[in-house]
Amino acid sequence: MLIVMSNSASQEDVNSVIATIEAHGWQAKPIPGGERMAIGILRNIGPVDPAIFLGMPGVRDAIPVSKPYKLVSREMKKENTRIPLGDGSVVIGGDKLILAAGPCAVESERQALEIACAVKRAGAVLFRAGAFKPRTSPYAFQGLGEKGLQILAKVRQETGLFIVSEATDHEVCDLVEEYADIIQIGTRNMQNYRLLKRAGQAKKPVLLKRGMSATIDEFFMAAEYILSEGNDQVILCERGIRTFATHSRNTLDLNAVPYIQKESHLPVFIDPSHAAGRRDQVIPLARAGAAVGAAGLLIEVHSCPEKAMSDGPQSLLPADFERLVAELRYMNFKI
């Protein structure tokens, strides 16, 4: 934190800022400049709230300098995090573009297996499907619960696909950890701290989705919660942010990918399905997500989207997904 004094600040104002810094147990470092004094804050653990100083007399600005996160930072760990699954034949953050595909929700064994076989054939290595669904309407389908997870375990057994499924709260997390290979934390839960802590104690990797209006710093802090509990197998997933634009459900923020890769060692996935919210934008955005350099793509595929119990309209048909994979191969991505 750098406290910038007004050019008319008195020595008393400066002393008062220094006293406040020291009262918090931090160290104050005055930096005289051409026109005005600035005061650096050192030895703080965790972020300093600028508002502490913004109201003080003679203070013009309070500017965060250091980043609030540590463990997710590339400063802490230079090499990219690689997350091997199973026997290590699939590595997230490795050379290959990871394709995770499947329906929004598990609806039945038959549905799950049919879609799983199709996406596996096309090139997917992960099967994504929800057994517990957070829904906007109280009357909407809420997922099959544990039965859904059992179906997913069967999908893994029959197809060899690894399973990623969402934990909607800390209690559900116990079940998801038991059955799935990767625990997903959804957009609405990015700041559900109790769930984040629970996921940090899990023995399975975690796929953490960015909140709809989260800054990257906030996204990193949510991941920090997981890492600080001891689980460093975290995948970050960009899935679109809320903006003024109305031509899509959200705006996919691809600028975030090179930024995350610069700041952090964690792998990044892209979810074009939720960013678009409508099928006709999914394939172009999936190609863009691969091209920007994401480690993987999370794509909704349903063999009968018009009968899907949730999010059908943004799901690709298996044939669309095949076409997408063909296009990605044509663009020379290793799948």
Find the shortest distance in angstroms from Cβ 122 to a second copy: 19
DSSP 8-state symbol, 311:
S
| Tokens 């899990």 found at | 202
- Our CB check for a second copy shows the closer of 169 and 178 to be 169
Distance of alpha carbon 84 from alpha carbon 75, whole angstroms: 23
- Exposure letters 305-330 (e unless 16+ CB within 10 A, then b): beebbbbbebbbebebbbebbeebee
The tokens describing 185, both together, are 């934390």
From 107-115, 116-124, 201-209, 284-292, give the range in contact with a second copy by CB under 8 A: 284-292
Q: Is 110 in the site for a second copy (CB under 8 A)?
A: no
Find the shortest distance in angstroms from Cβ 87 to a second copy: 31
Distance of alpha carbon 124 from alpha carbon 104, whole angstroms: 15
One DSSP character per residue, 58-91 reads TEEEEE--S-S--TTBTTT--SPP-EEETTTTEE
- Please identify which residue in 313, 322, 323, 335 interacts with a second copy, judged by CB under 8 A: 313
Per-residue contact track with a second copy, 42 to 71, x per CB under 8 A? Answer: xx-xxx-xxxxxxx----xx-x-xxxx---
From 101-109, 119-127, 281-289, 295-303, give the range in contact with a second copy by CB under 8 A: 281-289
- Please identify which residue in 14, 20, 185, 208 interacts with a second copy, judged by CB under 8 A: 20
Distance of alpha carbon 266 from alpha carbon 92, whole angstroms: 10
The tokens describing 210, both together, are 């960015």
Find the shortest distance in angstroms from Cβ 278 to a second copy: 4
- CA nearest 166: which of 197, 208, 218, 138? 208
Find the shortest distance in angstroms from Cβ 117 to a second copy: 24
- Our CB check for a second copy shows the closer of 133 and 204 to be 133
- Please identify which residue in 84, 94, 160, 277 interacts with a second copy, judged by CB under 8 A: 277
Q: Is 16 in the site for a second copy (CB under 8 A)?
A: no
- Our CB check for a second copy shows the closer of 250 and 303 to be 250
- Please identify which residue in 12, 194, 201, 319 interacts with a second copy, judged by CB under 8 A: 194
Terminal-to-terminal C-alpha distance of the chain: 44
Residue 249: φ, ψ to 5°: -65, -40
Q: Is 38 in the site for a second copy (CB under 8 A)?
A: yes
- Our CB check for a second copy shows the closer of 7 and 108 to be 7
Find the shortest distance in angstroms from Cβ 207 to a second copy: 19
Name which of residues 159 to 178 contact a second copy (CB under 8 A). Answer: 168-169
Q: What are the C-alpha distances in Å from 97 to residues 92, 283, 291?
A: 8, 15, 10
DSSP 8-state symbol, 280:
G
Contact 30, 37 (CB under 8 A): yes
Number of residues that bind a second copy (CB under 8 A): 106
Per-residue contact track with a second copy, 235 to 264, x per CB under 8 A? Answer: -----xxxxxxxxxxxxxxxxxxxx--x--
Find the shortest distance in angstroms from Cβ 299 to a second copy: 15
